Amino acid sequence: MKIIGIWGSPRKGGNSELLLNAFLEGAREAGAEVERIALRELKISPCLEIYHCFKDGTCPIKDDMLPLYDKLLAADVVALASPIFFYSLSAQAKAMIDRTQALWSRRYHLNQDFPGPERQGVLLCTGATQGKLLFVSARLVARYFFDAINVTYAAEILVRGVDQKGAILEKPEVLDQAKDLGRRLAQGEKFGPVKLSPLAV
Ligand SMILES: Cc1cc2nc3c(=O)[nH]c(=O)nc-3n(C[C@H](O)[C@H](O)[C@H](O)COP(=O)(O)O)c2cc1C
């Protein structure tokens, strides 16, 4: 069982990192092969919209996204962790997602063989406020990201009211939930698909 955790916050030791770490700890303890990918340490250009990927499913931009394509295809579980920035995912997360247009192209434009959909995707999100609509955009983006890479949108943990670095430590029940989810996914349990109706949760 290969589980990758993609962490999209620029802030080290922040809430989404702590949430992802708990998730990955559970997965590791249950025997999964775990890899954490810190987008803040990578140089990933935004998509340049040149449609090279429509020719052969590859992206000609030579940057740190290249190894990620294979990792996204090889993973049994893809977890995406991000803070809410202006009611959406972080720019780091969104740039990475936009670059998976190359995989979308393989799947939908070139109709190539593609691993999936027994593979599973998880969204882990943290935001400061309590608004009902806080995760609407992030959930929609995650839905179409997971679709592009052909993993089932299996589960999500959406944490409101955490702003200061480490504030999530005051919600140990949420970290326990993340750890438990990681453990269960590593053991092969199937979840979802997450229903996006209603979008506001
Ligand atoms: C640029 C920026 C934009 C933000 N926008 C929102 C927002 O729209 N809604 C919200 O509730 N919190 C917002 N926040 C707060 C973060 O989502 C919150 O502090 C989160 O827990 C940070 O997670 P991290 O520590 O993993 O980066 C914003 C923070 C920053 C720095």
58-79 residue pLDDT tens: 999 999 999 999 999 999 999 9
Q: Say how many Å lie between the CA of residue 38 and the centre of ligand 1.
A: 17
Provide the whole-model pTM.
0.98
Residue-wise pLDDT for 91-143, tens only, equals 999 999 999 999 999 999 999 999 999 999 999 999 999 999 999 999 999 99
Residue 151 sits at φ, ψ, to 5 deg, of -115, 145
Q: Which residues line ligand 1 (CB under 6 A)?
A: 9, 11, 14-17, 83-87, 126-129, 134, 162-163, 165
Choose which residue among 85, 141, 162 to substitute to test ligand 1 binding: the one with the highest number of ligand atoms within 8 A of its C-beta.
Answer: 85
Q: Which domains does the chain have, with CATH numbers?
A: 2-186 (3.40.50.360)
pLDDT of 201 > 90? The answer is no
Which residue's C-alpha comes closest to atom 22 of ligand 1?
Answer: 83
Residue 164 pLDDT greater than 90, yes or no: yes
Q: Which helix (H) or strand (E) covers residue 137, if one does?
A: helix 136-148
Q: Two tokens at 188?
A: 């092969």
Helix (H, G, I), strand (E, B) or coil at 159: strand
Helix (H, G, I), strand (E, B) or coil at 131: coil
22-31, 143-152, 192-201, range with the lowest pLDDT: 192-201
pLDDT number for residue 94: 98
Residue 23 pLDDT > 90, yes or no?
A: yes
Round the average pLDDT of the chain to a whole number and report it. Answer: 98
At residue 43, the pLDDT reads 98
Q: Which residues contact 97 (CB under 8 A, 6 or more apart)?
A: 89, 141, 145, 148
Question: Using CA positions, which residue lies closest to atom 2 of ligand 1?
Answer: 85
**Residue listed under structure tokens 């453990």:** 183
Neighbouring CB atoms inside 10 A of 163's CB total 13
Query: 127: CA distance to ligand 1 center in Å?
Result: 5
Q: Are 133 and 201 in contact (CB under 8 A)?
A: no
pLDDT score recorded for residue 47: 98
Say whether pLDDT at 152 is over 90: yes
9 Cα to the center of ligand 1, angstroms: 9
